[in-house]
């Protein structure tokens, strides 16, 4: 089963393109989205130095029918909005490809991580081509789902994804351990323990998989 990372150029006629290119330093982190033939409902976290200004630009967009402010904190604001149907989501739905959330749109480019069957990935490429949407395949690899399922517990995977989405692993970090714990609704000590075990499992698997250093090496 292939796992792919795509950089997709957001169509210039959409509000997403207009807002993200006008505010190139802002990140629009799409937490989840639903769409039918006529409309889309999207949960978006705006990460920016002045998120209120970015949210105001979203609300002014002609394609945005309604916007609700759900949460606002230091440098980030969460909104739910209803729009006309989004062409990117339409291509994904038409191809039958499950889209991994969250994904980020920055300066007119959406970054997608996809795990699906090879024929569906190919169908997505066809749909994007037919819609005139440019994209780049940044990474493609086969995934052993049995190993990946064994590697981490569901709780570890969920918290690891949340920490990565929050910017905990970026340099410099955009989120502290306390902030990750708050978003997950757990104690800081619990978050630390879960992440430490998950990180240890991933590092051990990586080193054993590629050069056997965890198995063979011994501390002097």
pLDDT, residue 39, reads: 87
> Residues of the chain with pLDDT > 90: what percent?
49
Residues 6+ apart with CB under 8 A from 189: none
pLDDT, residue 140, reads: 82
Tens digits of per-residue pLDDT, 143-187? 665 566 677 887 888 899 899 989 999 988 899 999 999 988 899
Q: Say whether pLDDT at 212 is over 70.
A: no
pLDDT, residue 209, reads: 65
| Cα 34-37-39 angle, rounded to 5 deg | 55
124, HSE (Cβ side, Cα atoms, 13 Å): 25
143: part of which helix (H) or strand (E)? none
Q: Say whether pLDDT at 219 is over 50.
A: no
Tens digits of per-residue pLDDT, 11-56? 999 999 999 999 999 999 999 998 887 888 999 999 998 899 999 9
pLDDT, residue 216, reads: 47
Residue 46 dihedral angles phi and psi, to the nearest 5°: -95, 120
How far, in Å, CA of 85 to CA of 168, rounded?
32
pLDDT, residue 44, reads: 95
pLDDT, residue 176, reads: 93
Q: Is the CB of residue 75 less than 8 Å from the CB of residue 45?
A: no
- 217 falls in which pLDDT band (50, 70, 90)? very low
**Token pair recorded at residue 183:** 């978003």
Mean pLDDT, residues 192-203 = 90
Q: What is the mean pLDDT of the chain?
A: 87
Residues 6+ apart with CB under 8 A from 16: 10, 28, 86, 88, 105, 110
pLDDT, residue 205, reads: 80
Q: Say whether pLDDT at 74 is over 80.
A: no
How far, in Å, CA of 177 to CA of 188, rounded?
7
Mean pLDDT, residues 94-100 = 88
More confident residue, 2 or 4: 4
Mean pLDDT, residues 62-69 = 95
């Amino acid at each position: 089963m292939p796992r792919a990372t795509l950089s997709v150029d957001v169509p210039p006629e959409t509000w997403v393109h207009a807002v993200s290119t006008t505010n190139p330093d802002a990140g629009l982190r799409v937490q989840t989205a639903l769409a039918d033939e006529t409309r889309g409902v999207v949960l978006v976290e705006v990460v920016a130095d002045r998120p209120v200004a970015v949210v105001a630009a979203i609300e002014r967009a002609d394609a945005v029918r309604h916007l609700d402010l759900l949460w606002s904190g230091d440098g980030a604001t969460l909104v739910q909005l209803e729009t006309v149907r989004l062409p990117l989501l339409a291509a994904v739905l038409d191809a039958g490809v499950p889209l991994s959330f969250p994904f980020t749109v920055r300066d007119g480019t959406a970054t997608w991580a996809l795990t699906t069957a090879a024929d569906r990935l190919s169908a997505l490429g066809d749909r994007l081509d037919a819609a005139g949407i440019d994209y780049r395949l940044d990474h493609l690899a086969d995934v052993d789902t049995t190993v990946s399922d064994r590697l981490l517990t569901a709780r570890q995977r969920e918290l690891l994804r949340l920490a990565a989405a929050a910017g905990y692993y970026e340099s410099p970090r955009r989120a502290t351990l306390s902030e990750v714990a708050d978003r997950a609704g757990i104690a800081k000590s619990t978050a630390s323990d879960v992440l430490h075990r998950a990180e240890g499992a991933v590092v051990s698997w990586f080193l054993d998989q590629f050069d056997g250093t965890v198995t063979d090496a011994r501390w002097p």
